[in-house]
Each structure stands twice: as C-alpha cells, then as structure tokens.
Amino acid sequence: MKILVIGETCDDIFIYGEVSRLNPEAPVPIIIPKYQIVNKGMAENVANNLKSLGSHVDLICNQSLIKKIRYVDDSYNYILLRIDEGDICDRIDLNNLPNDDYSAVVVGDYNKGFLSEDDIKFISKKYSCPTFLDTKKELGDWVRDINYIKINNSEYQRNKDVIDSHLLNKTIITRGKVGCDFNGKNFPTKEVEVKDVAGAGDTFLAGLVFNYVETNSIEESIKFANKCSTQVVQKRGVGIVNINELYGTE
C-alpha cells in the first residue's frame, strides 16, 4: 500500500534526570539531567508507524523545526516540565501536492499554521482514496468530504454538538484506557501498565489507516488500532509499533 501523510512534524525530546530534592527558593523539584531521547513526532510519528507496519509512505510536512522538550524524573517516569519551541510554522504550498495514486491520505493537523481549514478541504477533494483526519481545530462544514476523523475525548467535548448532529458516523473518539467510541459503540482496550501516552494517538491513527486499507472495515481497523496504541503506551517516550510483537511472533 502507498499512503500519503500531510501535516506538521516536530522533535519530541525527552530529557531524563535525577530528582532528589526541592528548590529552596520555590516549591519545585530540582532535576539533574542524565540523558535524552529524541523521536520524530506528530505527523512524522504517524508516518513512521505506518512504515513500521509495512506501508510505503510519502510525507509532506513543515520545514521549520518544532520542538517539544519534556523534563522527566527518571525514577518515576513523571514529566516535570514541558517546553515548546518554534510552535508556529509556515503554511503548506498546495502546488507541491503529488498526483500519485494513493491507497489512503492521512492529514495530521496539529493547528501550528501548516494547514488551514480550506487547505484540508482542498486535500479531501483532490484525492479519490479514503481520507483520514486528526485535527486540533474546531470542526465545521470543511470536514464534510473527509471519510474518517480521529479525535480524543476532550476534543470531542469541544465539538460535541456538531459531531452528534451530523458527524457521528465518521468520527472515532479515543478515550485512553477505556478504548474508543465510534457511532455509539465502545471498543475497549486491554488493560496494561501505562508508561507513557505521548504519541499514542499517532500510533492509533497509523494502525487505523493501515488496517482499513487492508480490510475496508472501520470496526476491524479500530480494534487493530487499539492493539497498536496499547503496545506503545507500555514503552517510554514516543514509541513506534513493532509488528512482530503485535502478532506475537517475537
């Protein structure tokens, strides 16, 4: 399968350190950095998960660097502070969109300026294959031609009226440890020890798209996506799904 991913990318940086005392000047912990791990995040995390599952992926993303820097207590894997840098990027040039025949198009819109509502509407009309959207924007008529929308529960609450009125049959709502909801039905996940939820939504989206292209069944794809995200939340940082572990062959 060949999949096009369009959206913002960032560096997800985790700085792990030792925390043994509080700052005498203010009631905040003092962290002594020991090591750091850097992963590609947001739309590029979706693309990397799709590649790990076996897809050929083309990625169109911002050229400027966005950083999400997290300072983490290494003993408890507890995030003490997050610093975002370069949070706004230049808008996409729609003239650079490829005309290749894709199995699916994924739009990862993290509302950093790369994609406007009109851009996403244009993309959904340009390609005849299924289109999937993960967006931080307020939903409206501009998503009419998108096939499936993936949002989390807090985003659903902000868009509840418009979703319940005419988008319920295309909106997949992820809800953490209780799984996700689609069209009035809950799809539960296996209970596991959660180490880090960073990037889990990107992995879910990648699994959803990958399986949908194979099966053309959104319900089966949701179940598969749940398995993918359940795997990565058991790992530190922004994890990439391992297809061998997924099928129990490793």
Does residue 248 register a pLDDT over 80? no
Query: CB of 209 within 8 A of CB of 201?
Result: no
Does residue 36 register a pLDDT over 80? yes
| H-helix or E-strand spanning residue 223 | helix 218-232
| H-helix or E-strand spanning residue 207 | helix 200-215
Mean pLDDT of the chain: 94
> Tokens in use for 47?
């693309």
- C-alpha 152/C-alpha 136 separation (Å) is 9
Does residue 250 register a pLDDT over 90? no
The confidence band for 249, taking pLDDT boundaries of 50, 70 and 90, is very low
- What's the pLDDT tens digit per position in 75-127? 999 999 999 999 999 999 999 899 889 999 999 999 999 999 999 999 999 99
The confidence band for 145, taking pLDDT boundaries of 50, 70 and 90, is very high
Q: What is the pLDDT of residue 211?
A: 97
Torsion of CA 154, 158, 162, 168, to 10 degrees: 0
Strand intervals (E) in 61-170: 67-73, 78-85, 104-109, 131-135, 148-152
Does residue 245 register a pLDDT over 80? yes
Q: What is the pLDDT of residue 1?
A: 86
Give percent of the chain with pLDDT exceeding 90: 86
Amino acid sitting at position 208:
L
The structure's pTM equals: 0.93
- C-alpha 176/C-alpha 172 separation (Å) is 12
- C-alpha 176/C-alpha 151 separation (Å) is 11
- What's the pLDDT tens digit per position in 162-185? 999 999 999 999 998 899 999 999
Beta-strand pair 148-152/171-174: parallel
- What's the pLDDT tens digit per position in 187-244? 999 888 888 788 899 999 999 999 999 999 999 999 999 999 999 888 887 788 988 8
Interior angle at CA 30, CA 25 and CA 68, nearest 5: 120
